[in-house]
Structure 1
Amino acid sequence: MACPLRTYPLRQPRNYKPLIPRWQLVLPAGVERLFTCCVLTSACSRTPATMTSSKSTQLFRLGLMEDEDPPLANERFNYLDGDDLPGTSIWVCYWNDEARGKRSLQRLSLPSIHSSLPENVRMNVGLWTESFLTPISRLETNYSGLDYLPGLAKLPGTKTAEHELTAYWGAARDRIPESAHDLFEQDDAAQGSRPETTPKGLGQHLVGTNYDHMVHIRSGQFWENCGPEEIESYENNLEPTLRNGLGYLWDNRNDGGAMGLRYLGNRDEAGHTKKETCGAGFFTSLQTLEEWAKKHKSHLAIFLGAIKHAKTFGNERKFRTWHEVSVLKKGEASFEYVNCLPTTGFHVNRENTMVLDSKPTHDGCSSVRREARICLPRAACGHFYIYRGLTIRTGVTGLPPVVVRYPEDRLGRRSEVPAGVDISAEIPSESMSLGTPT
């Protein structure tokens, strides 16, 4: 049977042929929906984490890896920068079956783990999970080489295929199958007004879900196999531009649309950070991420730096980049935080349509249910901003209910090209890469 005609044309230029090869993931027959879960344990203080989270880390490992539906692939990370705190332990877990992933996460039970900790540990430990379902029709992946295939590519039975949807504006969108018939327009819920009062996070249990067309991206860099000269070039020249780009997104959430964005380093068995990193987080929409990648000087610097690096090392280059992007329908993501600082987790600057329930606490505080929306700015200045659509469970340590008031002002959304930046040449770039273009 012939494939149905596209409603929206490819953005690929006519008669276009990429100059460099790229590959994308091919999943086994019968796999239609993937499930991804990020799990974290951290010390809830500004002091360096020591033994406070070791017990919860052990319980996480037992709960996930020895479950009857364990993840089929997983990676562990050290926190480097962004929307969390130093000293956190982070896992990313993948399943190729939605039901198995959700069952495993449900049995993990963050409140149970937290309540089982010794009291002197419990008060200093925060736990969270961020999980999401991805139909493969709304997934795109891209790899610069076949000698390094992380993330979803670690799932059993996966293969890769070379493709030509790369290195032009809109290439990442073109690689999403459903983009043939869906523009993934930003949900109206991504606009919102800031409240005047925020919850403390500590002593609270916050859970919720997403609005329509929210995007998750994990974009990585690998230079473990590089020679000394290429390692020095990446670490001294290219990586600083990547950090500057991430810094812009953290500091300009209204324009960049970043939420819960973290810079992570893969860790070895001894806990040391390897020469392998990724940026991972959510964005208000695909278009918001595309606009930053296409127009802003911080991403342009990443792109030009990557070109210079590639020209310098040519065919001997061992540096690898990759990414995976999911466009999420309403309700396909879930967020849960137990006893977390307001600098932790899903930092949203748009409506999240999160629904949280409250329960009576041990000291007799009454159950409360409030409508709100969630907005969380950068970790460095972070506070939880609660919005319409979310309620707060105060039953973890008995904190009183949070009162939320809503001012009438609304936030601006449009991203603009900065003064003095010449982008008239429209230099092709991989518009979904948080790091170097792939």
Structure 2
Amino acid sequence: MVFHIEYPRTIPERRPPGHQPAAPRFSLRWKQPVGLLISDYFALQGQDLTWDEQADFFARLESSFGTGGPDAFERMRFTDEAGAQNAVLVAYWLDGTRHGRWERTSPFMDWFRDDARLSGERGVWRETLHVPYDRHETIYSTPNYPIGLARTPGSERVAITINGYFGAMRDRIPLSAIDSLDSPFAAMPARGIPASLGRRVKVASPLNMVSIRSGQYWEGAGNEQTADYLDNLQPKLMRGMSHLATHPDETGTLTLRVMTNLNPDGSPRSETSVHGYFLSMTLLEEWSKRHETHLDIYRHAIAMNRLHKEKREVFTWHEVFALLPGTFSEYANCHPSTGLLPWFAAA
């Protein structure tokens, strides 16, 4: 038995009548009830970050995980639109009380909130996402590789049929059966340039903002499938991400990060993660359904799945949160384009 939540539908699902997916897909379940899911992103930011600086940041954070720490975590790195490098650790908790106690007693959080973080050439930031179980969904191309929430204990991937059609992402969110998950914003808010350098700025974001972390893993794939991914699928993926990032009014994109997953020694893995925030699920769905940059990704992935079937060696996945209001982000001495800083009222 695995835990899951379903509601009697008052809102019609998007699945076409009689739909059967062309390729198998899997979604995450747990063996025990899970009430709250927490994904906490921590980062060090600066121009020309050395590996020693990144390693010290990761070590400081990870050493604080001894009591009350996360159920799983991963390290990543990316260069943002301002040219700054960001060393990122994302941590997952399945227990809100344990997360809260860790935050209150963690020596890392004392360091993070010290005024010493407000000077110098480095910034730090944190984005804390917490959602009830019924506001999330996941999908994986294979059940074999644990990543993201799938690294947490008691989790397993189960076969699903709510995939392979436009609108399936929404249908997989249990709450979508009774809630339209609309944004309270009729249009994108005005983008600002906050005075953030040398300051600690806190941001609270709106109801039903969407967080998506998607991933691509080709470690150990054979030459043929690796070449196809690097030469064909990855360029299509990057074109799609570029369109999202450069057309916020059309797509609802607030920020988008293309990150490289890291080994413990800082070397890059054959794995990337794209993490983005979107104001509206509806706008994101319109891009995925109608825009050629997403259709190129979709068609190629489907073609490769049909060609290789269960022998497909390039693994793809995502996890989605439809967030409650007040999702909390904190930026210390960060440049004004960082994350959610440009979009929402800050104090």
TM-score normalised per structure 2: 0.90
Task: Note if contact 1:216-1:282 (Cα within 8 Å) is conserved in structure 2.
Answer: yes
Equivalent residue, structure 2, for 1:71: 70
Q: Counterpart of 2:85 in 1: which secondary structure?
A: coil
Q: 1:175 aligns with which of 147, 168, 172?
A: 172
Going from structure 1 to structure 2, the CA distance change for 1:105 and 1:257 (only over 3 Å counts) comes to farther
Unaligned runs of 5+ in 2: 1-5
In the alignment, the residues of structure 2 paired with residue 144 and residue 135 of structure 1 have an alpha-carbon distance, to the nearest angstrom, of 24
1:254 equivalenced with 2:249 (yes/no): yes
199-208 or 70-79: bigger deviation: 199-208
Unaligned runs of 5+ in 1: 353-372, 374-389, 392-438
Q: 2:93 aligns with which of 95, 102, 112?
A: 95
Task: Note if contact 2:39-2:90 (Cα within 8 Å) is conserved in structure 1.
Answer: yes
Cα displacement (A) at 1:285: 1.6
Structure in which a larger fraction of residues adopt helix: 2
Going from structure 1 to structure 2, the CA distance change for 1:265 and 1:153 (only over 3 Å counts) comes to same
Give, as a single letter, the amino acid of the residue that structure 2 aligns with 1:341: H
Task: Note if contact 2:194-2:342 (Cα within 8 Å) is conserved in structure 1.
Answer: no
In the alignment, the residues of structure 1 paired with residue 257 and residue 175 of structure 2 have an alpha-carbon distance, to the nearest angstrom, of 27
In the alignment, the residues of structure 2 paired with residue 193 and residue 291 of structure 1 have an alpha-carbon distance, to the nearest angstrom, of 21
Task: Note if contact 1:71-1:94 (Cα within 8 Å) is conserved in structure 2.
Answer: yes
In the alignment, the residues of structure 2 paired with residue 233 and residue 161 of structure 1 have an alpha-carbon distance, to the nearest angstrom, of 28
Structure in which a larger fraction of residues adopt strand: 2
In the alignment, the residues of structure 2 paired with residue 149 and residue 301 of structure 1 have an alpha-carbon distance, to the nearest angstrom, of 27
Q: 1:243 aligns with which of 234, 238, 243?
A: 238
Q: 1:335 aligns with which of 325, 329, 335?
A: 329
1:210 equivalenced with 2:209 (yes/no): no
Going from structure 1 to structure 2, the CA distance change for 1:246 and 1:82 (only over 3 Å counts) comes to farther
1:7 equivalenced with 2:10 (yes/no): yes
Task: Note if contact 2:55-2:266 (Cα within 8 Å) is conserved in structure 1.
Answer: no
Equivalent residue, structure 2, for 1:22: 25
Give the 5 Å matches for 1:362-373. 373=345
Task: Note if contact 1:52-1:125 (Cα within 8 Å) is conserved in structure 2.
Answer: no
Equivalent residue, structure 1, for 2:196: 201
Aligned length: 340
Q: Counterpart of 2:27 in 1: which secondary structure?
A: strand
Going from structure 1 to structure 2, the CA distance change for 1:114 and 1:26 (only over 3 Å counts) comes to closer
Cα displacement (A) at 1:114: 6.3
Going from structure 1 to structure 2, the CA distance change for 1:188 and 1:114 (only over 3 Å counts) comes to closer
Cα displacement (A) at 1:284: 0.2
Deviations 1:242-274 (A, max 9, x none): 111111111111111112310111111221111
Cα displacement (A) at 1:310: 3.1
In the alignment, the residues of structure 2 paired with residue 188 and residue 78 of structure 1 have an alpha-carbon distance, to the nearest angstrom, of 31
1:104 equivalenced with 2:80 (yes/no): no
Task: Note if contact 1:85-1:343 (Cα within 8 Å) is conserved in structure 2.
Answer: no
Equivalent residue, structure 1, for 2:160: 163
Task: Note if contact 1:42-1:53 (Cα within 8 Å) is conserved in structure 2.
Answer: no
1:226 equivalenced with 2:224 (yes/no): no
Q: Counterpart of 1:302 in 2: which secondary structure?
A: helix
In the alignment, the residues of structure 2 paired with residue 339 and residue 217 of structure 1 have an alpha-carbon distance, to the nearest angstrom, of 25
Task: Note if contact 1:261-1:281 (Cα within 8 Å) is conserved in structure 2.
Answer: yes
Cα displacement (A) at 1:190: 5.5
Q: Counterpart of 2:8 in 1: which secondary structure?
A: coil
Cα displacement (A) at 1:343: 3.2
Equivalent residue, structure 1, for 2:264: 269
In the alignment, the residues of structure 2 paired with residue 4 and residue 142 of structure 1 have an alpha-carbon distance, to the nearest angstrom, of 20
Going from structure 1 to structure 2, the CA distance change for 1:86 and 1:148 (only over 3 Å counts) comes to farther
Equivalent residue, structure 1, for 2:313: 318
Cα displacement (A) at 1:320: 1.0
Going from structure 1 to structure 2, the CA distance change for 1:189 and 1:102 (only over 3 Å counts) comes to farther
Identity %: 32
Cα displacement (A) at 1:104: 2.2
Cα displacement (A) at 1:232: 1.1
In the alignment, the residues of structure 2 paired with residue 194 and residue 83 of structure 1 have an alpha-carbon distance, to the nearest angstrom, of 15
Q: Counterpart of 2:277 in 1: which secondary structure?
A: strand
Going from structure 1 to structure 2, the CA distance change for 1:144 and 1:296 (only over 3 Å counts) comes to same
- Greater length-normalized contact order (CA 8 Å, ≥ 6 residues apart): 2
Equivalent residue, structure 1, for 2:296: 301
In the alignment, the residues of structure 1 paired with residue 196 and residue 136 of structure 2 have an alpha-carbon distance, to the nearest angstrom, of 32
Equivalent residue, structure 2, for 1:59: 60
Task: Note if contact 1:219-1:321 (Cα within 8 Å) is conserved in structure 2.
Answer: yes
In the alignment, the residues of structure 2 paired with residue 84 and residue 69 of structure 1 have an alpha-carbon distance, to the nearest angstrom, of 35
Task: Note if contact 2:24-2:161 (Cα within 8 Å) is conserved in structure 1.
Answer: yes
Give, as a single letter, the amino acid of the residue that structure 2 aligns with 1:338: A
Q: For the aligned residues, what is the CA RMSD?
A: 2.4
In the alignment, the residues of structure 2 paired with residue 189 and residue 112 of structure 1 have an alpha-carbon distance, to the nearest angstrom, of 39
Going from structure 1 to structure 2, the CA distance change for 1:283 and 1:240 (only over 3 Å counts) comes to same
In the alignment, the residues of structure 1 paired with residue 143 and residue 112 of structure 2 have an alpha-carbon distance, to the nearest angstrom, of 39
